[in-house]
Structure 1
Amino acid sequence: MKEVQKINASVTPKGSLEILSQIEVEKLKKVGENGLYALFRQCALAILNTGSDSDNAKDIMEAYPDFEIEIIQQDRGMRLNLINAPANAFVDGVMIASSREMLFSAMRDIVYSEAEKRSTRIDLNSSAGITDHVFHLLRNADVLNAGEPPNMVVCWGGHSIPEEEYQYTKEVGHSMGLRGLDICTGCGPGVMKGPMKGATIAHAKQKITNSRFLGLTEPGIIAAEAPNPIVNELVILPDIEKRLEAFVRVGHGITIFPGGAGTAEEFLYLLGILLAPENKELPFPLVLTGPKCAEEYFRVLHDFINDTLGFEAQQKYKIVIDDPEQVAQIMAQGVKDVMAYRIEHHDAFYFNWMLKIHEDFQKPFEPTHENVAALNLSSNLPAHELAANLRRAFSAIVAGNVKESGIRAIEKHGPYKIDGDQSIMKPLDKLLCGFVEQQRMKLPGTQYIPCYELIK
C-alpha cells in the first residue's frame, strides 16, 4: 500500500443517531468479547478509507494500527474524536459529507443490531423469525419506503474488474437510470460503483431529484470493499446471510456483471431460492450481462450451472452480451411484472414478503476448515439444496481471499479442503481455474495464491 496520510478530527452526527444511551456508549467503548469497539473501529476505518487500492482487509487494518475513536457524550448530543484517521476522508480538515453520513449509519446499525440480540422479540431459530429480523434492521435504517412504486434494481459483480467492463457497468446503469430505476449494490468499488455512477448522470438528465443509491454490506467484507462515495443510503447487516436476504427482499430485479467468487456466491444464493418449489411462479427478473470481452466468462458460468444444477436453473436467468439498452428494457419490464404480481397478491412493494427463503440460505455459515470440509456437495441433492452448499463453498473462498478472519485462518491452517462428487468437483474446478486465469480472484497485477484445495 502507498504511504498513508493521517489526521485527527472531531465530528458530530447530522440527522441520524444524534444521541446514545449510557449503556450504548459503554458498549461502543468497550474492548473485548462483549464490547463493540473493535467492530465499530473496523467499519469506521473502512468508510474513512474509501478509494483504497487494496482489497485485503488485513492490509487496511494494519496500515492504520494507531487509528482510534473516542466517543464523547455532551449536553446537546454526541461527538466522535478520530485519532490518526485516513486523511483522504477530509477536505481542509472537514470530513466529506458522504463519509460523515456513512460513519454514523455504521454506528446506528451496530448499536441497533446489538440491541436486537438482547430483544425477546427476535427469533433467529425460525425462517420467519430471521426474515422479521432483516425487516427490522432495514426499517431501522429507514430504507423501506411505503407507497413508492417498485424501481430498485440490485447490481452484483466484481469489485476489481477491467476498465472495459467497468465502463459497461456505467452504460447499463445509465440506461436503467433513464428509465427511472434506482440502484442497490454491495456499496464498494467496481461493479458496485459503476451502475450508480451511470444512473446518477441519467437521473440528472431526467430531473430525478430523489435518487436512491442503496449500499448493503456486512462487517466481514466492508474493509475489503469500502463504500463508494455515490452511496446515499448505507446499511451494515450483521452477517453475509442477512445481507443477501436484504438484497432479494428490497430488490425488484437483479443484474449480475462479471465478478469472482463473491459474485458466484450471490448468484448461487439467488438461484437456490428461485429453484425452491414455493417460488416457482414468483416473478423475479434476473439478467447476467457484460461487454463482448466478458462473453467467455458467462459461457463458463452458464456451463457450470448446467453441469451442477441443471437445465431448470438455467431458465431462471437471461444472458445479454454487450447491449445495455436491452438489459435496461428487460429490467424495466420485469419490474412492471413484479408490481402487477404484488398488487394482485396484496404484497408490499418495499419488501418481498412472498419470497420463500429456506433456513439453509439464512443460517450463518462460519467458514472454518471443519465446516468447509463437511459440506455435502452431492449430485443426489435437490437442486436448491445443492445450490445452498455450493454457495457456502464460495463463501469460504471469499473469506479466504479478502476477509481478515479468513486470511488469518488460512495462514494458520493452510487452504480450505473442498470435497464432493466428481460430477460436481470437475465443473467447480473448471470454473475456479477460469476465475484465476481471468484475474477475477484478486486485484489485477497481483499474484493469486489459492485459499482452497479441491479434493479430486
Structure 2
Amino acid sequence: MVKKELVSTIVSPLGTMNVLSNNEVSLLQDTNQGGLYPLFRQCALAVLNCDETSDNPYNVMEEFDSFDIRIVQEHRGLKLELINAPGSAFVDGRIIKGIRQSLFCVVRDILYVSSELKGSPRFDNGDSTSLTDLVFHILRNAKAFLPKQLPNVVVCWGGHSIGQGEYKYTKKVGYQLGLRGLDICTGCGPGAMKGPMKGANLGHAKQRISNSRFIGITEPGIIAAESPNPIVNQLIIMPDIEKRLEAFVRFGHGIIIFPGGPGTCEEILYLLGILLHPDNEHIPFPLIFTGPSESVGYFEQIDRFIGNTLGPQAQRRYNIIIDDPREVAQQMKSGLDKVTRFRRSTGDAYYYNWLLRTEEIFQAPFEPTHESMEALQLDRDQPAHMLAANLRRAMSGVVAGNVKRSGIDLIRARGPFQLSGDPQLMEDMDQLLGSFVKQQRMKLPGSVYEPCYEVVHKKV
C-alpha cells in the first residue's frame, strides 16, 4: 500500500468567513460527547480528501487517523491549522484555492446551524412552514440567492458509482447546459455529481461566462463517503438529508436525473412525492431522466417501479430522454422559461420556491434503525404522495446501511435491515434493489457488496 503524503500548515480564509467569537471557537473545538469538534473534523477531512475513491467513511477516517484541525485566533482574524492533512489538497505546498474556499464553508455552515438555529423555538417546533423557513435561512446565510437573476439553476442528481460511459454522458449534458448559460447544482460528490459540472465549465468558458456557479449541497452523514469535488465553488452543508433534499427542490428550478443507485432513487421518490401532492399539481417543475443508450434498461426499471407503485400520474411528471444531450438541454431551457413565467405571474420568488407544499413526513429527520425500517408503511392503502414518502425513507435506510457510519455500525451489530409490506410492492422493490446490485450501483466498481437489507414479501 502506497503511503499517502501528509501536510501540516496554517491556512487563511478565502471568502467572507474571517472572524469568530470566543464562544464559536469553543464550540468548534469541543471534543465532549455531543460537541462540534468530531463533526467539524469529519467534514473538513472530507473536503481536503477530494481525490478519495472509496465510499466507505471508515476507510477515510482510518487512513488519516492522525489528521487534526485547530482554530487559530489572531488579532488579524481567523486561521485554520491543519495537521497531517491529505497531500492531494496541496500543490507545491500551497492548498488548492477551491479546497480552501470549501474548508471555510464547513466552518460557516456548522457554526450557523449550531449557534443560530439549533434549539431555537422558532425552528424547533416541527412545523412544516418553520422547517421550510429554516432551509431558507441556511441557504441565505451561505449567500446562495441571487434575487434579480432569472431561474437558471439546474439540479443534477445521479449516482457516485457509475460506469465511464454514463460519466462521459453526464459531461456532455453539462456542456449543453453550460452553452445555454445555466448554472449547475449537485450533491457535490463524484460520478454523476461531478460530470455535469465539468461539462458546464467548458460550456461557460466558450460563452465567456465568468461568474459560473457550481453549487454543491451535502450533509454530514454523507460527506465522508462522497467528498465534495473541487469544481464546486459554492459548498453548502445542510444539517440532515431531509433539509438537503428540500434545499434542492426549493433552490433549484429544474432537475435532471442520471443513472444511480438507492440514493438517486431516494431523491426521485422525494421529488415525486412532493409533486404528487394535490396542492402542487399546477406548479411547473421540469424533470428529466436521461442517460446514454447503455442506460435504457436502468430507466425502464425505474419507470416500471414508479408506475407499479405510484401510478401513471407520477410517470406524467417526468420525461425520459436517451442519448441526446442537446435535447435534454433544450427541454430544460424551455421548462425554465415556463417556471419564470409562472413565478412572475404568481409573485413567487425567482430564487426560492415558496409555493411548493411540503408535508412534515418529507421534512422530519428519519433515523434508519432496524425498528424504524421494519415499521415503515409500505402498502398501497394510502395516498400516492404518502407512499412515495415511505418508499423514500426505505431507500434512505439502504443508503445509510451502505455508506453512512451510523448505518454501517447498525448492520455490523445486528445484521441487515428488514423491509416488509404489500407482497406485490415488495416484489417490485426486491427487483429494483436487485438490479442496482447486479449493475454495481450500490458501491463503487470493484467493491464487494454485501446487502444491508432484506426484503420480506409478507408482513408477519
The bucket for the TM-score relative to the shorter chain is over 0.9
Aligned partners of 1:92 and 1:207: how far apart in 2?
30
* 1:227 corresponding residue in structure 2: 228
Does the 8 Å CA contact 2:72/2:79 hold for their aligned counterparts? yes
Q: Matches of 1:63 and 1:353 in 2, distance apart?
A: 43
CA shift for structure 1 position 9: 1.0
Write out per-residue CA displacement over residues 198-254 of structure 1, whole angstroms, 9 at most, x where no aligned residue: 000001111111111000000000011101111000000000000000000011100
Aligned match of 2:265:
264
Residue in 2 that maps onto 1:18: 18
For 1:281, the equivalent position in structure 2 comes to 282
Once the two structures are TM-superposed, the CA of residue 151 in structure 1 deviates from its matched residue by 0.3
Name the aligned partner's letter for residue 30 of structure 2: K
What's 1:206 paired with? 207
**Could you tell me how far apart the structure 2 residues matched to 1:16 and 1:2 are?**
38
Answer yes or no: is the 8 Å Cα contact 1:171–1:195 preserved in 2.
yes
Question: Which amino acid in the other structure matches residue 217 of structure 2?
Answer: L
The Cα offsets for residues 312-346 of structure 1, whole Å up to 9 and x where unpaired, read as 11101000000001100110000000000000000
Equivalent position SS for 1:215: strand
Looking at structure 2, the residues matched to 33 and 281 of structure 1 have their Cα atoms a distance apart, in angstroms, of 47
Corresponding residue for residue 402 of structure 1: 403
> In structure 1, the residue corresponding to 2:4 is in which secondary structure?
coil
DSSP-derived class of the 1:125 partner: coil
Residue 176 of structure 1, CA deviation: 0.9
Q: Give the structure 2 partner of residue 60 of structure 1.
A: 60
Question: Following TM superposition, by how much is the alpha carbon of 1:124 offset from its aligned partner in structure 2, in angstroms?
Answer: 4.2
Query: Which region of structure 1 is more displaced relative to structure 2, 1-10 or 309-318?
Result: 1-10
Number of aligned positions between the proteins: 456
Instruction: After TM superposition, list the pairs within 5 Å mapping 1:18-417 onto structure 2.
Output: 18-115=18-115, 116-417=117-418
The residue identity in structure 2 corresponding to 1:269 is Y
Counterpart code for 2:86: P
Task: Note the C-alpha offset of 1:71.
Answer: 1.1
What is the rounded CA distance, in whole Å, between the counterparts of 1:277 and 1:393 in structure 2? 23
**Kept after mapping to 1: 8 A contact 2:5/2:87:** yes
Partners of 2:75 and 2:210 lie apart in 1 by 35
Amino acid at match of 1:21: S
- TM normalised by structure 2 equals 0.98
Q: Letter of the aligned partner of 1:353 in structure 2?
A: W
- Name the CA distance, whole Å, in 1 between partners of 2:398 and 2:61: 20
Q: CA offsets, 1:353-407, max 9 Å, x none?
A: 0111111100000011111111010111110000000000000000010111111
Deviations 1:1-37 (A, max 9, x none): 7532211111111222111111110010011223100
Verify the 8 A CA contact 1:58 1:407 in the aligned structure 2. no
Q: Distance in 2 between matches of 1:451 and 1:14?
A: 40
Cα distance in structure 1, aligned partners of 2:125 and 2:110: 17
Q: Deviations over 1:149-170 (max 9, x none)?
A: 1000000001121001001000
SS in 1 for 2:7: strand
Give the Cα separation in 1 of the matches to 2:411 and 2:32: 23
Would you say 1:9 and 2:5 are equivalent positions? no
- Looking at structure 2, the residues matched to 34 and 383 of structure 1 have their Cα atoms a distance apart, in angstroms, of 38
- What do the CA deviations read for 1:45-81 (whole angstroms, capped 9, x no partner)? 0000001110111111111111111112111112211
SS at match of 2:216: strand
Tell me, which stretches of 5 or more residues in structure 1 are unaligned?
none
Distance 2:2 2:247 in 1: 35
Answer whether contact 2:152 2:182 (CA < 8 A) is retained. yes
Distance in 1 of aligned mates of 2:225 and 2:147: 33
Cα distance in structure 2, aligned partners of 1:298 and 1:195: 19
User: How does the TM-score come out when normalised to structure 1?
Assistant: 0.99
Q: Is the 8 A contact 2:394 2:419 kept in 1?
A: yes
Taking only the aligned residue pairs, the percentage that are identical comes to 57
Q: Distance in 1 between matches of 2:286 and 2:99?
A: 32
Tell me how large the CA RMSD over aligned residues is.
1.0
1:379–1:423 contact (8 Å) kept in structure 2 = no
Per-residue Cα deviation, 1:80-100 (whole angstroms, up to 9, x for no partner) = 111111111011211110010
Unaligned runs of 5+ in 2: none
Q: Would the aligned equivalents of 2:190 and 2:226 in 1 still touch at CA under 8 Å?
A: yes
Report if the CA contact (8 A) 2:118-2:124 is conserved: no
CA distance in 1, matches of 2:44, 2:348: 36
SS of residue in 1 equivalent to 2:279: helix
Cα distance, 1:192 vs structure 2: 0.4
Q: In 1, Cα distance between the equivalents of 2:96 and 2:286?
A: 36
Counterpart-to-counterpart distance in 1, 2:59 and 2:262: 20
